[in-house]
Amino acid sequence: MKESYPPPFRRYLVLCLSVLSLVVFAAPSWSQPEPYRDKVAIITGTSSGLGLELAKIGAEKGMKLVLVDIDPPRSVELADRINAEGGEAIFVQADLVKPEDRVKVIKATRDRFDRIDFLMNNAGYIYSGRLDQMDLDEAHRLFEVNYWASVDLANQVIPLMQEQGSGTILNVASILGLIPGSVGQGHYAATKHALIGMFQTAAKELAPHGIKVFVAAPGGMRTNIAKNAVGPLADERRDLAQDWQDPAIPARDIFDAMQKDDVVFRPGYIGDIPLEQLRR
């Protein structure tokens, strides 16, 4: 004899099965921790451009932020807004040319938060000039900010991250660290090649300690980097950035990429262009 259920009971049974299937399939996503919430992040160069966008997104994701820049106003304003909205942020004024200021950044972070989960080395600038126009002191200063500051800050956070058993070090290079630059960009490109070379190796060295290392190589962004360029050819580059991409786009891509495995990646529009095409 075929068993049957009255219509109201059948509807109730279907509803129960639907809810059960929803719980079963949705449970894994509910149980996944949010990868950025309550993580402590140092971000350098936060007063404009990509660093400012990284800080905004970090705040949206519930990170505890240490904003670092030589120029206080916009970073201070952002830190105040984050705190007023229920987040946590401090500002540390630092000239990254100075080793003692780099030590100050790490100390301020540990004094406030007692841990460091993310170091985002973003600060940098352009020294524009051909090789035959080089001022050696200016070239050395460029490397101090664009390369050595990132290496030094990374070196300082590694022991704490090793002790924690986890951590992430992000370095903002440039597509010019992967392809030849145009006339006058050699010194800047050299700092970005150096970052990629160093931190590709560091990624292998630090992986056994639970520390992830990334190098972002974005293309041109609508920032102040061209406007603030120095050097004999700087004036020729003042207006370039007005036609480049909104830095919020690569900033979002960077946060996504830090949840993946590629050490070197190309955020923003440049990630969709084959590298061989860019080298032409």
Tell the residue number behind the tokens 């984050």, with chain if given. Answer: 82
Helix (H) or strand (E) holding 133: none
Positions marked catalytic = 188
| 118 DSSP β-pair partners | 41, 168
Note whether 90 and 96 are within 8 A (CB). no
Structure tokens at 259: 């949840």
Note whether 128 and 234 are within 8 A (CB). yes
Non-local CB neighbours of 63 within 8 Å, separated by 6+ positions: 36, 37, 38, 39, 40, 41, 118
Judging by DSSP bridges, how do beta strands 211-216 and 64-69 pair with one another?
unpaired
* Cα 199 from Cα 201, distance rounded (Å): 5
